[in-house]
A and B are shown apart, each in its own frame.
Chain A
Amino acid sequence: TQLLEQSPQFLSIQEGENLTVYCNSSSVFSSLQWYRQEPGEGPVLLVTVVTGGEVKKLKRLTFQFGDARKDSSLHITAAQPGDTGLYLCAGGDSWGKLQFGAGTQVVVTP
């Protein structure tokens, strides 16, 4: 059972379009991280959010942490083929136990 529910499971868009993926939980997390994973590789951290309502921007990526620290979203503006990958959210609720969502597979076609 996944503590973190990600939606959608799969997203296919054209280059230049915008997209949003969501990460929801019934649990409160002290922090939430977003990772991107490419085939044959391990996940790579994109961002960590720790404060309810926090918004962080990383170039064309915007991350938001919900006020209640139970949910988060990742928005990509003007997606590029290089954004293709599996996007994973991960919640830390106690020391040493970082739980991941099932991921959203994003495919950006030229």
Chain B
Amino acid sequence: DSGVTQTPKHLITATGQRVTLRCSPRSGDLSVYWYQQSLDQGLQFLIHYYNGEERAKGNILERFSAQQFPDLHSELNLSSLELGDSALYFCASSVTGQLSGEKLFFGSGTQLSVL
């Protein structure tokens, strides 16, 4: 158990809908990262939050948004869903997010299926 909690574990929805994925980092970790994993694209970095502020952005679509709340949990919002958004979404946390090579702890992921 990494200590990172993601909910829900599975999500099935239809095209055009909006969903929210939730992540609770390990106790004491200030940084939260979101990744998307699909068979053809591998593990793609989406966004990184540190202590409530956005720190780095990766290949995140404009239809997607995220935030980190004062209690440090994070939510990833996916809207106007398309079939191609079907993937495994991972959240990871680290202590500071400031050190190169700092260990990331990953949750078990949310499997999103868009039908």
Tell me if B97 counts as interface (CB < 8 A to partner A). Answer: yes
Neighbour of A97 across the interface among B2, B48, B92, CB < 8 A: B48
* A31–B43 CB distance below 8 A: no
Q: Interface size on B (CB < 8 Å)? A: 27
Chain A nearest CB from B33 CB (Å) reads 7
Task: Given A42-B92, A97-B56, check contact A92 B100 (CB 8 Å).
Answer: yes
Task: Given A42-B4, A95-B55, A96-B50, check contact A103 B101 (CB 8 Å).
Answer: no
Tell me if B45 counts as interface (CB < 8 A to partner A). Answer: yes
Q: Secondary structure at chain B's binding surface: helix, strand, loop or mixed?
A: strand
A95 contact set on B, CB distance < 8 A: 55-56, 97-98, 100
Tell me if A73 counts as interface (CB < 8 A to partner B). Answer: no
Chain B nearest CB from A3 CB (Å) reads 10
Q: Can you name the residue of chain B whose Cβ is closest to the Cβ of A43?
A: B106
* B100–A99 CB distance below 8 A: no
Task: Given A2-B42, A42-B109, check contact A31 B58 (CB 8 Å).
Answer: no
B98 contact set on A, CB distance < 8 A: 95
Q: Which of B33, B42, B107, B108 has the most CB of A within 10 A?
A: B42
* A48–B33 CB distance below 8 A: no
* B97–A42 CB distance below 8 A: no
* A44–B55 CB distance below 8 A: no
Neighbour of B101 across the interface among A30, A43, A88, A94, CB < 8 A: A30
B residues with CB within 8 A of A: 2, 4, 31, 33, 35, 42-45, 48, 50, 55-56, 58, 90, 92, 97-98, 100-101, 103-109
A residues with CB within 8 A of B: 2, 30-33, 40-45, 48-50, 88, 92, 94-103
Residue contacts A-B, CB under 8 angstroms, 5 given: A41-B109, A42-B108, A95-B97, A97-B45, A102-B42
